[in-house]
Amino acid sequence: MSRNDRYQELFRQALRIRLVEEKVIELYPSDKIQSPVHLSIGQEAVAVGVCEALRPEDAVYITYRGHAFYMAKGGPLPELMAELYGRRNGVSGGKAGSMHLAAPQVGVMGASAVVGSTISVAVGGAMANRILKKPGLSVVCFGDGATEQGTYHESLNLASLYGLPALFLCENNGLAVHASLAERQSYRILEHARSYGIETVRIDEGWDFLKIGDVTRQVTDAMRADGRPRVMEVMTCRYKEHVGPGEDFAAGYRSQAEVEAWMAKDPLCADTALVAELKPALDAEIDQAVAFAEAGELPGLDDLLTDVY
Ligand SMILES: Cc1ncc(C[n+]2csc(CCOP(=O)(O)OP(=O)(O)O)c2C)c(N)n1
Ligand SMILES: [Mg+2]
């Protein structure tokens, strides 16, 4: 990847996400963050590249592994940190935690701990936009494991049948908890999606935010023109354990060498000079976000019945 201004800006955004999650790792043993955390470390380039091509009116529907998309779409950082701390000044008043992030003011429509459950919600969002004649695409991010859920199939069918502008974005890290794709799937994700009459695209270089940005722009331009759904699969790599701040190589379901081979291609690992240049300003911003969270109050009993509809 050539080192121009665009590279530097996308690199900065991806590094910002990684440093925030590394701060979460540092803080976690203190128990100040009690929410379970599914870290996206290793997968940041997908969120940054995809969101580069999106517009403010586009909506993203995310998962419990959603810190990266929340930040890449413009979700506020201090309120994210306060949300992880479970404080009133969090983006959802401390009630959502890491797994149910939402910031609709910037188009982050929500996450869920239930695998696959935001896929149909995104299709509903696309349908609502069409009925209300509102602009904007629905982008739904999910893992390879979520494609095994019935709701994924129902959603592809409906989006294709009704011609809805939903971008189904599979972040394929090859794993669902500790189970590899080969143990779980009898189908190929994109071949299967094409059987619904949906055009597909695959990116193997899930560390390459420039390529992901370019391809997403082509795909979203086409969707804005024809109003049809697309399925995009980006191969990626989760560096940490499924849930929690640690590593899990000792569990024996994958080798450290395969993760290290991926890291060798990841600019956030390889371009140490640019990390050194950008890190001080990002660290200062993250420290401020932590101070904001620490200054927040914990919700009280009175909050139990607020925000309930
Ligand atoms: C409906 C449902 N089934 C099972 C689980 C338990 N579970 C949580 S994450 C996960 C793996 C999902 O894998 P994938 O969709 O590939 O996402 P990744 O965690 O790899 O990002 C499972 C099975 C759940 N949360 N919801
Ligand atoms: Mg997965």
Q: What is the DSSP letter of 300?
A: -
Closest approach atom of ligand 1 to CA 142: 15
Report the SS3 class of residue 108. strand
The residue-averaged pLDDT of 263-292 equals 98
Ligand at shortest distance from the CA of 174? 2
Residue 128, classed as helix, strand or coil, is: helix
Instruction: Tell me if 39 CB under 6 Å of ligand 1.
Output: no
Q: Where are the beta strands (DSSP E) in 173-238?
A: 175-176, 179-180, 199-203, 230-235
Ligand 1, atom nearest to 176 Cα: 13
Residue 1 scores a pLDDT above 70 = no
Looking at the domain that runs over 5-291, which CATH code has it been given?
3.40.50.970
Q: What is the pLDDT of residues 114-129, one digit of tens each?
A: 999 999 999 999 999 9
Residue 66: CB within 6 Å of ligand 1?
no
Please compute, for residue 86, the number of CA atoms within 13 A of its CA located in the half-sphere on the CB side.
11
Token pair 């969707």: residue: 223
Residue 3: the pLDDT is 78
Of 200, 66, 59, 75, nearest to 138 by C-alpha is: 59
Q: For residues 129 and 282, what is the distance between their CA atoms, to the nearest angstrom?
A: 36
Integer CA distances (angstroms), 142 to 1, 95, 257, in order: 27, 22, 26
- pLDDT range class, residue 18, cuts 50, 70, 90: very high
Rounded distance from Cα 148 to ligand 1 centre (Å): 10
**Does the C-beta of 68 come closer than 6 Å to ligand 1?**
no
pLDDT digits (tens, 9 = 90+) for 141-188: 999 999 999 999 999 999 999 999 999 999 999 999 999 999 999 999
Can you give the residue ranges of every domain in the chain? Answer: 5-291
Q: Is 179 in the pocket of ligand 1 (CB under 6 A)?
A: no
Q: What confidence score (pLDDT) does residue 2 get?
A: 66
**Mean pLDDT across 198-220:** 98
What pTM did the predictor assign?
0.97
